Amino acid sequence: MKHFLTLALLILLGLGSAEAQRLLIRGDDIGGSHASNVGVITTYTDGIERTAEVMVVGPWFPEAVELLREHEGLDVGVHIVLTSEWDGYKWRPMTECPTLCDEYGYFLRGTFPSQAYPEGSMMERSAAISLEEVEAEMRAQIELALRLIPQVSHLSSHMGCTRITPEIAALAQRLAEEYGLPLMDSSGLYEHLPYGMGVPLEEREERFLAALATMEKGKTYMHLDHPAIDSPELRATGHVGYENVAEDRQGVIDLWTSPRVKDYIATHGIELVSFGQLLKENK
């Protein structure tokens, strides 16, 4: 009933439509690289992205803060990071948390097991991970983001790190409630756009347009990816199984700023929304 009344009020105010298809485009990893910072902002100012997920421990976080403060209309989520996946460069935690780190003090390589990197994942070491250390690190990332970025509205997790164990999942949910920042990796507020990730570059635009054509009126759909500019920085980034990072992530920018995609959204009355907007509507 509460959701119905909220939606009815929005319709009366001209802020929404029960018949509209709504699309939430989420750009991940701002702060992780300069290339990602440029990509996320570009797909907001020139494209269809409306929500960005910031990596507080990323080496380019200070620049990300400046850019996000300059673009206060861009909704922001704290992208909780407990892993460091790339071969060429790494990031460290904000707190002292040895059970989350490798022998060099960097975060563990990944969340889930990989044959290419044996014994390098959180899941493989989950029995030894200190829940107290996880909590301290999550709090530090959340609190710094809240201190520096005015439009933070929610939390998300990098590489599914908050779902490694039931205990970590429960902790993440408790912190989300404590800080008033819902964890938005999954939610009843949206459905996933039937497009997916890892689509070949040459097929992306056609497949994305086909996915948009399946959207039903009155529903909200979410699509996430990692926009970043093709640059020497990103060409030096990768790991086993994902070597074409620069080309792939430039392709996300190309898709989200595509004139055909933007024209389709405009002519079919698709409303672009953010997590922050959805959360305000459903309070």
Is 154 catalytic? The answer is: no
Query: What's the average model confidence in pLDDT over 123-146?
Result: 97
pLDDT at 196: 83
Of 4-13, 52-61, 66-75, 141-150, which range is least confident? 4-13
Phi-psi region of 139 (alpha: psi -120 to 50; beta: other; left: phi over 0): alpha
Q: What is the mean pLDDT of the chain?
A: 93
Is 226 catalytic? The answer is: yes
Confidence of residue 83 (pLDDT cuts 50, 70, 90): very high
The 3-state secondary structure of 200-243 reads CHHHHHHHHHHHHHCCCCCCEEEEEECCCCCCHHHHCCCECCEC
Query: What's the average model confidence in pLDDT over 127-146?
Result: 98
Catalytic residue among 154, 158, 223, 226: 226
Query: Which own/partner contact pairs does 166-171 have at CB distance under 8 Å and 24+ positions apart?
Result: 167/131, 168/129, 168/131, 168/134, 171/131, 171/134, 171/135, 171/138
Residue 18 has pLDDT above 80, yes or no: no
pLDDT tens digits along 150-203: 999 999 999 999 999 999 999 999 999 999 999 999 899 999 999 988 899 999
For the chain, domains (ranges, CATH) are: 20-281 (3.20.20.370)
The residues, any chain, with a CB within 8 Å of residue 240's CB and separated by 6 or more, are 87, 114, 116, 117
Of 6-20, 31-45, 124-138, 234-248, which range is least confident? 6-20
Q: What is the pTM of this model?
A: 0.92
Among candidates 121, 189, 191, which has minimal Cα distance to 159?
A: 121
Query: What's the average model confidence in pLDDT over 26-30?
Result: 98
Among candidates 25, 20, 76, which has minimal Cα distance to 208?
A: 25
Catalytic residue among 28, 29, 75, 230: 28
Residue 12 has pLDDT above 60, yes or no: no
